[in-house]
């Protein structure tokens, strides 16, 4: 067995899921903040022990990096606090106080509940420097915010939303599903095709036609006439020329 090391600290963040889960512990040792990131299912970890089980006001406690050291200092020989199984996990409502800026992140832009309001206690220089936020610049593109400011007829909008909600409720109560809608569309389409059937003259002709031999004879006679005309070379130009000659002779 190799050398074993034991590290104790507060869990400030958890990342990823499944076999790739990671968690980070933080502790202040001899005045220096130390963060160690572990992989949950790595074989190099022989044991994970929960010394004290509690919740904070925020899931992410990364802001403890910029907080005062007393909020992240824990004794390495700290005795475990027992927790009765089945009981809810207690919530620690403590709010930490951040050190004067600059900070590692713009914590004032995030909605952290576990940070004490220390923004107003900072110097005017950092107030001017950190107040220039990109979020403020993007405010002019927020169309919804502008709409909320100019929207006056709220009752009409609420009535429209209620009408839409009632329609969805009635549709669910009536059992109108996608299959029923498609079935109704097919029925209406078949009715439209039936209505257009009465304008199909060829179909009516096919229904009333009985003497097929006579029709075939007429078609054959027309075909023979066209064939003879082509064989004799009788074109439209020759017919007109003959007509002109006969007319000149008469004159």
Residue 54's CATH number: 2.30.30
pLDDT the model gives residue 173: 73
Note whether residue 163 is domain-resident: no
In a domain, 217, yes or no: yes
User: Is residue 43 assigned to a domain?
Assistant: yes
d(CA 33, CA 53): 22
Structural domain ending residue among the three candidates 102, 119, 135: 135
Q: How far apart are CA 74 and CA 82, in angstroms?
A: 17
> What's the confidence (pLDDT) of residue 233?
64
Q: Which of 103, 135, 167 is the last residue of a domain?
A: 135
Q: Do residues 20 and 110 share a domain?
A: yes
CB 12 within 8 A of CB 37: no
Q: Are strands 22-29 and 32-39 parallel, antiparallel or unpaired?
A: antiparallel
Residues 213 and 125 in one domain: no
Structure token pair of residue 157: 């909008």
Same domain, 40 and 113: yes
Same domain, 6 and 84: yes
Residue 17 lies in a domain: yes
Q: Which one-letter DSSP state was computed for residue 47? A: -
**Shared domain check, 228 and 107:** no
Confidence of residue 225 (pLDDT cuts 50, 70, 90): confident
Residues 128 and 206 in one domain: no
Domain boundary among 120, 135, 150: 135
Beta strands in the chain (DSSP E): 10-15, 22-29, 32-39
Same domain? 105 vs 215: no
* Alpha-carbon span 241 to 251, nearest angstrom: 16
pLDDT of 69 reads 93
Note the pTM of the prediction, 2 decimals. 0.49
24, 128: one domain: yes
Least confident of 37-51, 61-75, 146-160, 189-203: 189-203
User: Domain residues for 68?
Assistant: 1-135
Residue 194 located in a structural domain? no
pLDDT at 209: 55
207 plus 125 within the same structural domain? no
Query: How far is the CA of 3 from the CAs of 77, 122, 173, in angstroms?
Result: 19, 46, 68
Identify whether residues 11 and 93 lie together within a single domain: yes
Is 53 part of any domain? yes
Strand order in the sheet with 22-29: 10-15, 22-29, 32-39
> In this structure, is residue 178 part of a structural domain?
no
Question: What token pair was written down for 24?
Answer: 């980070």
Q: Of 115-124, 158-167, 196-205, where does mean pLDDT reach its minimum?
A: 196-205
Range in 46-55, 65-74, 108-117, 196-205 the model is least confident about: 196-205
144 is a domain residue: no
What pLDDT score does 110 carry?
79
Tally of structural domains, the chain: 2
Residues 6+ apart with CB under 8 A from 61: 10, 11, 12, 13, 26, 114
Q: What is the mean pLDDT of the chain?
A: 78
Whether residue 36 has pLDDT greater than 60: yes
């Amino acid at each position: 067995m190799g050398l074993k090391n034991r590290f104790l600290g507060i869990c400030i963040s958890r990342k990823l899921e499944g076999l790739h889960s990671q968690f980070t512990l933080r502790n202040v040792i001899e005045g220096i903040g130390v963060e160690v990131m572990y992989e949950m299912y790595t074989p190099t970890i022989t044991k994970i022990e929960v010394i004290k089980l509690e919740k904070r006001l925020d899931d992410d406690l990364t802001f403890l990096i910029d907080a005062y050291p007393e909020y992240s200092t824990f004794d390495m020989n700290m005795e475990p606090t027992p927790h009765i199984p089945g009981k809810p996990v207690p919530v620690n409502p403590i709010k930490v106080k951040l050190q004067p800026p600059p900070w590692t992140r713009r914590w004032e832009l995030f909605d952290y509940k576990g940070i004490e309001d220390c923004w107003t206690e900072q110097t005017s220089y950092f107030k001017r420097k950190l107040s220039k936020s990109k979020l403020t610049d993007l405010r002019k593109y927020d169309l919804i915010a502008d709409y909320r400011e100019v929207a006056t007829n709220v009752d009409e909008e609420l009535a429209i939303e209620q009408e839409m909600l009632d329609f969805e409720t009635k549709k669910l109560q009536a059992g109108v599903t996608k299959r029923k809608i498609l079935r109704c569309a097919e029925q209406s389409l078949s009715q439209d095709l039936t209505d257009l059937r009465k304008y199909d003259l060829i179909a009516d002709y096919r229904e009333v036609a009985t003497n097929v031999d006579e029709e075939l004879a007429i078609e054959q006679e027309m075909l023979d006439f066209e064939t003879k005309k082509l064989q004799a070379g009788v074109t439209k130009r020759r017919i007109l020329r003959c007509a002109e000659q006969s007319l000149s002779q008469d004159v």
